[in-house]
């Protein structure tokens, strides 16, 4: 690879490209507005996007340190910096793979010209927002990225076109706007107190003063609304279940993770002097409640997509175990917990996207997705049910999937930090997930008794590419289980105290 310095500087110029390319694609799809060309271009574009991100991934590991890129050559206090470290690169990786599969899936899923002409520009805008959120090293830039994500996902949910989906989208929009305003107020207070927006500079100057507590509280409430942690999760199930299947996949797999990522950044790094152990434990407690309530609601759900959406509420609960596990147990236990949670984010992103794609294929083929009528669906939808089963195995945390490794790492860090009660939560959560996954699978594999009691065979043939995309992601969750070392090697780069102590590279 030559001298590391040269590799670093050349590959670093890809960083603005990672945000700029999806924006370019959005504009292109808006101008072309020809559905067939938009779809073809988008698949090509998603492939290029994947290649660029993979290049960034490999050169980041070669350089072995955190990257800072000064946009336009302006320095940190005035200009806006892009920051890439172990945590953000893992999220960027998950985004890229899911975006590639969802793009290919959507090219086959959307049929009417009206839907396609609206879908593609919004979709690429969403991707640009996600990439911007993961790369941004500036508190206000994060706000802009979160708003781009929020507004484009609301419009994508409304694309489903029925009254219930649009009502869910409106509620989602109000929650999103409220969440961003709370976040912005917190950022305004931080700026007032410390006079900078750059996360690295903030993390060096922030102290545990009342104004920091107020700012952190506002930022947390805003981001918890967007991440849908238990008491604030009310908007998620209707929005994620009502959206078109590829949109649901992206929303559950990626969009809620973006706000979680920002939240983790603020609690563990930027405002860490203001984070008390009690508050961190409280976040973990809500996470545990979310696991149980999400599983319970998923067991009672009537529709398949609603079941998958409640499963997202439960799985998001696991992510919040990060906070109590890192609380006051030293950086070694902390970074192990963050590694586990980053791994869980990737495993869940793949599994949940695959699951929504399978559910979407079943819904499109049968014309309904009521769970009670899915009896014997495996006879005409074998691949989709198989995809659902593998993704479900990952959500439960069965071995050879990525979910198993993630839960294993999470259990390990719970043992290391000496908090046995979280072990019970993690194990019970896996058990309850098994109940709702097997509830669907048992029905799907049960032979139909009366020929006409439920509906007949598939009323609509569905494109092979749709099934293939879901299947590929399901394979990816298994591959993740076998390649744990590869992904974990990125966690060595820098996770806790990500930004502190990084200097701009020459």
Q: Which positions touch another protein (CB under 8 A)?
A: 78, 140, 144, 147, 150-151, 154-155, 158, 163, 166-167, 169-170, 173-174, 176-178, 180-181, 184-185, 188-189, 191-192, 197
CB contact at 8 A, 352 and 101:
no
Beta strands in 23-84 (DSSP E): 67-70, 81-84
Take residue 216 and report the two structure tokens written for it.
């952190």
Q: Is 24 exposed, middle or buried (0-12, 13-18, 19+ CB in 10 A)?
A: middle
CB contact at 8 A, 168 and 239:
yes
Measured from the CB of residue 500, what is the shortest distance to another protein in angstroms? 22
Nearer to another protein, 191 or 445 (CB): 191
Measured from the CB of residue 176, what is the shortest distance to another protein in angstroms? 8
Nearer to another protein, 1 or 174 (CB): 174
Measured from the CB of residue 42, what is the shortest distance to another protein in angstroms? 23
Measured from the CB of residue 234, what is the shortest distance to another protein in angstroms? 13
Measured from the CB of residue 111, what is the shortest distance to another protein in angstroms? 21
Measured from the CB of residue 192, what is the shortest distance to another protein in angstroms? 5
Take residue 249 and report the two structure tokens written for it.
């996949």
- How far lies 61's CA from each of 4, 49, 76, 84, 494, in Å? 10, 19, 24, 11, 11
> Residue 399: how many CB atoms within 10 A of its CB?
10
Measured from the CB of residue 238, what is the shortest distance to another protein in angstroms? 13
396: region left, alpha or beta (phi > 0 left; psi from -120 to 50 alpha): alpha
Measured from the CB of residue 187, what is the shortest distance to another protein in angstroms? 8
Nearer to another protein, 166 or 475 (CB): 166
For tokens 């006051």, the residue is: 328
CB contact at 8 A, 361 and 386:
no
The DSSP secondary-structure symbol of 251 reads: I
Nearer to another protein, 239 or 389 (CB): 239
Distance of alpha carbon 76 from the chain centroid: 28
Nearer to another protein, 3 or 78 (CB): 78
Helix axis angle, 304-319 to 256-265, nearest 10°: 10
Residues paired with residue 81 on neighbouring β-strands, in sequence order: 70
Please count the helices (runs of H) and the strands (runs of E) in the chain: 21, 2
338: region left, alpha or beta (phi > 0 left; psi from -120 to 50 alpha): alpha
Those residues with Cβ within 8 angstroms of residue 506's Cβ, 6 or more apart along the chain or in another chain: none
Measured from the CB of residue 218, what is the shortest distance to another protein in angstroms? 9
Nearer to another protein, 174 or 424 (CB): 174
Take residue 325 and report the two structure tokens written for it.
């596990």
Nearer to another protein, 65 or 167 (CB): 167
Nearer to another protein, 170 or 488 (CB): 170
Nearer to another protein, 177 or 289 (CB): 177
Nearest to residue 338, comparing CAs of 352, 325, 347?
325
Those residues with Cβ within 8 angstroms of residue 456's Cβ, 6 or more apart along the chain or in another chain: none
Measured from the CB of residue 250, what is the shortest distance to another protein in angstroms? 18
State the Rg of the chain over Cα. Answer: 22
CA distance 332 to 14: 32
Distance of alpha carbon 489 from the chain centroid: 20
Measured from the CB of residue 367, what is the shortest distance to another protein in angstroms? 21
Nearer to another protein, 153 or 502 (CB): 153
Nearer to another protein, 166 or 411 (CB): 166
CA distance 212 to 500: 18
């Amino acid at each position: 690879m030559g001298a590391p310095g040269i590799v670093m500087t050349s590959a670093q110029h890809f960083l603005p490209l990672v945000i700029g390319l999806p924006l370019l694609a959005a504009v292109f799809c808006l101008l072309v507005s020809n559905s067939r060309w938009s779809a073809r271009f988008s698949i090509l574009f998603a492939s290029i996007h994947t290649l660029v991100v993979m290049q960034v991934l490999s050169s980041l590991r070669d350089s072995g340190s955190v990257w800072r890129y000064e946009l336009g050559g302006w320095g940190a206090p005035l200009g806006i910096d892009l920051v890439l470290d172990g945590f953000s690169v893992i999220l960027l990786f998950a985004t890229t793979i899911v975006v590639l599969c969802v793009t290919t899936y959507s090219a086959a899923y959307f049929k009417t010209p009206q839907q396609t002409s609206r879908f593609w520009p919004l979709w690429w805008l969403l991707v640009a927002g996600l990439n911007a959120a993961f790369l941004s090293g500036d508190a206000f830039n994060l706000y802009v990225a979160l708003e781009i994500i929020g507004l484009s996902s609301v419009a994508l949910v409304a694309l489903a076109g029925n009254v219930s989906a649009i009502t869910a989208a409106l509620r989602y929009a109000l929650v999103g706007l409220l969440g961003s305003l709370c976040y912005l107020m917190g950022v305004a207070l931080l700026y007032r107190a410390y006079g900078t927006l750059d996360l690295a500079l903030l993390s060096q100057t922030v102290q545990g003063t009342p104004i920091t507590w107020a700012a952190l509280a506002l930022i947390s409430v805003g981001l918890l609304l967007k991440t849908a942690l238990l008491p604030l999760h009310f908007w998620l199930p209707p929005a994620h279940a009502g959206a078109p299947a590829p949109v649901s996949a992206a929303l559950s797999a990626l969009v809620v993770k973006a706000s979680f990522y920002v939240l983790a950044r603020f609690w563990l790094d930027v405002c860490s002097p203001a984070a008390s152990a009690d508050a961190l434990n409280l976040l973990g407690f809500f996470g545990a409640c979310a696991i149980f309530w999400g599983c319970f609601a998923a067991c009672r759900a009537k529709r398949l997509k609603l079941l998958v959406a409640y499963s997202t509420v439960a799985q998001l609960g696991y992510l919040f175990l990060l906070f109590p596990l890192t609380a006051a147990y030293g950086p070694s236990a902390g970074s192990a917990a963050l590694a586990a949670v980053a791994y869980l984010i990737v495993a869940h992103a793949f599994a949940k996207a695959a699951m929504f794609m399978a559910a979407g294929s079943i819904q499109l083929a049968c014309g309904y997705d009521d769970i009670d009528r899915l009896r014997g669906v495996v006879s005409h939808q074998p691949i989709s049910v198989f995809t659902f089963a593998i993704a479900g195995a990952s959500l439960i945390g069965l071995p050879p999937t990525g979910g198993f490794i993630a839960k294993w790492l999470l259990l390990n860090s719970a043992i290391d930090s000496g908090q046995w009660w979280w072990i019970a939560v993690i194990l019970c959560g896996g058990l309850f997930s098994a109940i709702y996954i097997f509830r669907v699978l048992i029905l799907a594999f049960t032979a139909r008794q009366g020929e006409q009691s439920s509906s007949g065979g598939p009323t609509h043939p569905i494109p092979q590419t749709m099934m293939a995309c879901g299947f590929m992601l399901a394979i990816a969750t298994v591959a993740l289980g076998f390649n744990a070392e590869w992904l974990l090697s990125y966690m060595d780069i820098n996770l806790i105290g990500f930004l502190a102590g990084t200097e701009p590279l020459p």
